[in-house]
Amino acid sequence: MVTLNINGRDTQVDADPSTPILWALRDNLNMTGTKFGCGAALCGACTVHLGGQAIRSCVTPISAAVGQKITTIEAMEHDKVGKAVQDAWVKHDVPQCGYCQSGQVMSATALLKTNRKPSDADIDGAMAGNICRCGTYQRIRLAIKDAAKTLA
């Protein structure tokens, strides 16, 4: 049994310590907002925050999260920055198929938590690991800028 702090609550997970956070969330805790894309840190679909940093949960074992805070897409509506990002996503109608979008929102939120006025280069740097097969990148950029304005 491993105790993880997820979205502010200590949660017992009955899984081997080497289990990736992604599968503990999805399979053990039925928190399916975090998506599986590649399983190899190549697409960003599985992005969550660990200690405030955007990380790839498909390659990060739960043992690495003990004593730290995991934050997932399920908590974003209760987070000032996450909510601003989600509202901007809706306003700009960002998602197409939607599959990559929880990861996109998590990376965008991590960026805006540390940089309230990101330049295009800052956005490119923060979002580079999040692939969108539907090509929603332009709307993502607009939405991040809009969320930044809302939070200013």
Q: Considering only 7-15, 67-75, 95-103, 106-114, which stretch makes contact with ligand FES by CB under 6 A?
A: 95-103
Q: Which is nearer to ligand FES, 2 or 46 (CB)?
A: 46
Note the helical H segments in 92-129: 101-114, 120-127
Q: Is residue 76 within the footprint of ligand FES (CB under 6 A)? A: no
Q: Considering only 2-10, 33-41, 62-70, 114-122, which stretch makes contact with ligand FES by CB under 6 A?
A: 33-41
Q: Considering only 35-43, 74-82, 111-119, 143-151, which stretch makes contact with ligand FES by CB under 6 A?
A: 35-43
Q: Is residue 48 within the footprint of ligand FES (CB under 6 A)? A: no
CA distance linking residue 80 with residue 124, whole number of Å: 23
Which residue from 29, 64, 134, 151 is in contact with ligand FES, where contact means CB under 6 A?
A: 134
Q: Which is nearer to ligand FES, 76 or 132 (CB)?
A: 132
H or E element, residue 53: strand 53-56
CB atoms within 10 A of CB 20: 21
Report which of 28, 126, 11 is spatially closest to residue 75, judged by C-alpha positions: 11
Q: In the sheet where 9-13 sits, what is the strand order?
A: 9-13, 2-6, 69-71, 47-50, 53-56
Which positions touch ligand FES (CB under 6 A)? 36-39, 41-46, 56, 58, 95-101, 132-134, 136
